[in-house]
Structure 1
Amino acid sequence: MLFSTVLFGLMAVVIRLASKTQHPFEIAFFRNLFGLLFTLPLLFKHGPGLLKTSKLPLYLLRCAIGTVGMLAGFWAIVHLPLAQAVAISYSTPLFVTIGAVWVLGETVRARRWAAVLIGFIGVIILLHPDADTFTGASLVALLAAVMSASVAISIKFLTRTESPDAIVVFTTALWVPMSLVPALLFWQTPSGITWLWLLLAGLFGTVAHMCWTRALQLGDASILTPISFMQVLVVGVFGWWLFDESVDRYTLIGALIIFGSNLYLAHREITRAKPAVTDPEIFSDTLQR
């Protein structure tokens, strides 16, 4: 999880570096294109049978939502301080909890609703409610979080019949053409060191996702969640070092509130799951879902 956290942070950094010459939508396309190349070993490992599925419509819906979320997320990384953009993205579990009630019919009791409400107070603080500091880019980052939550809900459906490796390969493959269309509207052929930043974005993003999935298979989400929040620290340091950014009080206070809310939600989820699942392999699969 620590390795995944650092790599996701580095991906945000190289996205910002690439944005000096490329539009965020174009960066998203190349991240998916190079990411697909790095997922090919999964296809070689499992063979063509990995691509057999009866859930193609759900894959298409999941990837369409994911594409919107990715484009919004990349745009926010380029137009917001890195630490603020990443901190807002951690509001995703709050929206997942709401979606789990509406879409999956899960039962959420008073204490979890209280944690969600407290988390949204942190989100409001992160959005910089002061008229002098508020920026529309914060709403774009929030849109990315909502779309990511929708993707998480769709993955819960897919993992009932699909393997994690199949989801990774299908998702990345569909993201390439879906992200190409908006990229063409702002196309400018990369050159020089920009190619390196785009390649690293694909590499960091793909390996980070694989490490994150593996971490959830090996350990409790309540233990891993605090580690994942170190991404805010990683991008904060690089933002200060490379882009002369600073972490203001809104970002710090809002991130800490969201962190506490997510930590409680993760703890409650594990507490709820443990009595019902005793087989270690089944429990690991439940965590991954």
Structure 2
Amino acid sequence: MQQALLWMTGTICSFALMAIAGRELSGTINTFQVLFVRSLLGLFVISLIILSLNKAQYFKTSQIKTHLLRNSFHFLGQYGWFVGLGLLPLSQVFAIEFTVPFWTAIIASVVLKDHLSASKMIAIVIAFAGVLFIVKPASDHFESATLIVLLAAFCYSCAHTGTKVLSKHNNTLTILFYMCLIQLPIGAVLMIPYWTVPSMVEWGWIFIVAITALTAHFCMTKAMLTTTVTTVVTLDFMRLPLIALLGFAFYQEPFGAVSILGTALIFVAMLINIKSSR
């Protein structure tokens, strides 16, 4: 448990740093440029790991079309998430992001014919009730940017479904390698009209995004190996109050009682979903 707590601390801190860096870059460096550098550094690191393991076969795949489809959705998800960081309170972006498992359950039931049990359906209903409390669509203060983040969560879910298909015949490093390889030229082409030369401070934030993207997933993977999925997901949810605290401390972002209620509903739904999956 102590090891899991240590690894999940790394995960939570990585995601929090990535969000802060994304907020700091918002409005100064275009998101496509950030995603390009992120893919470039990721491709370099993943390639070094594969070569150091002497596993050249990890560079090969027989499912290139699935990789292309999966990473198209993943790129859109990343773009929407980073755009949301500049438009919405950080805690709201993270809360909406936690709906990804429920979108994934719905998509997998349609595309992969996965069984959608009654308890999973209840969890989905509770989760989206929580989202309604957070985004408050009927409110005068409703932000259309929440739709961008919700769409990003949906795209992430499509990418997760693609990962499930690919994981049957591809090593995790292969999936990560093609993720960076495919998204690199997409980011390169889309950033051309918006390219600006970052300042030293901006380069620092860009590299924080690129590095924390790797450390977050690495730490979470290590945590998965040391404890149960329930423990990992429960600990991972702790990044929501952390980012709410950071948002309040650095950007004076409010997080009211209604949003707390919505977050609690999503957390309950996650626990029901985990129990159903087990």
Scaled by the length of structure 1, the TM-score of the pair is 0.88
Which of 51, 54, 67 is equivalent to 1:44? 51
Q: Which amino acid aligns with 1:63?
A: N
Q: Which amino acid aligns with 2:128?
A: F
Contact (CA 8 Å) 2:12, 2:239: kept in 1 or not? Answer: yes
CA change 1:128–1:25 in 2 (3 A) is farther
1:10 lines up with 2:17 in the alignment: yes
Provide the rounded CA distance (Å) in 1 between the counterparts of 2:59 and 2:47.
12
Matches within 5 A, 1:79-90: 79-90=87-98
Contact (CA 8 Å) 2:11, 2:216: kept in 1 or not? Answer: yes
Matches within 5 A, 1:99-110: 99-110=107-118
1:29 lines up with 2:36 in the alignment: yes
Residue 194 of structure 1 corresponds to 202
Contact (CA 8 Å) 1:23, 1:186: kept in 2 or not? Answer: yes
Provide the rounded CA distance (Å) in 2 between the counterparts of 1:67 and 1:88.
18
Matches within 5 A, 1:1-289: 1-47=8-54, 48-270=56-278
CA change 1:108–1:67 in 2 (3 A) is same
Provide the rounded CA distance (Å) in 2 between the counterparts of 1:180 and 1:248.
40
CA offsets per residue over residues 133-159 of structure 1, 9 Å max, x none?
101110000001001111111111111
Q: Secondary structure at the match of 1:261?
A: helix
Provide the rounded CA distance (Å) in 2 between the counterparts of 1:113 and 1:62.
25
Contact (CA 8 Å) 1:69, 1:143: kept in 2 or not? Answer: yes
Q: Secondary structure at the match of 1:78?
A: helix
Q: Secondary structure at the match of 2:125?
A: helix
CA offsets per residue over residues 6-38 of structure 1, 9 Å max, x none?
211211111111225212332222222233333
Residue 4 of structure 2 corresponds to none
Provide the rounded CA distance (Å) in 1 between the counterparts of 2:44 and 2:246.
27
Provide the rounded CA distance (Å) in 1 between the counterparts of 2:176 and 2:226.
18
Contact (CA 8 Å) 1:25, 1:75: kept in 2 or not? Answer: no
Q: Which amino acid aligns with 2:117?
A: R
Q: RMSD in angstroms over aligned alpha carbons?
A: 1.6
Contact (CA 8 Å) 1:35, 1:172: kept in 2 or not? Answer: yes
Gaps of 5+ in 1: 271-289
Size of the aligned set, in residue pairs, is: 270
Q: Which amino acid aligns with 2:114?
A: E
Provide the rounded CA distance (Å) in 1 between the counterparts of 2:257 and 2:191.
35
Provide the rounded CA distance (Å) in 1 between the counterparts of 2:259 and 2:31.
23
Contact (CA 8 Å) 1:65, 1:147: kept in 2 or not? Answer: yes
Give aligned-pair identity as a percent: 26
Q: CA deviation at 1:255?
A: 1.4
Q: Secondary structure at the match of 1:245?
A: coil
Gaps of 5+ in 2: 1-7
Q: CA deviation at 1:160?
A: 0.3
Name which of structure 1's ranges 104-113 and 20-29 shifts more when overlaid on structure 2: 20-29
Contact (CA 8 Å) 1:40, 1:169: kept in 2 or not? Answer: yes
Runs ≥4 in structure 1, deviation > 3 angstroms? Answer: none
CA change 1:248–1:36 in 2 (3 A) is farther
Q: Which amino acid aligns with 1:239?
A: G
Provide the rounded CA distance (Å) in 2 between the counterparts of 1:175 and 1:217.
28
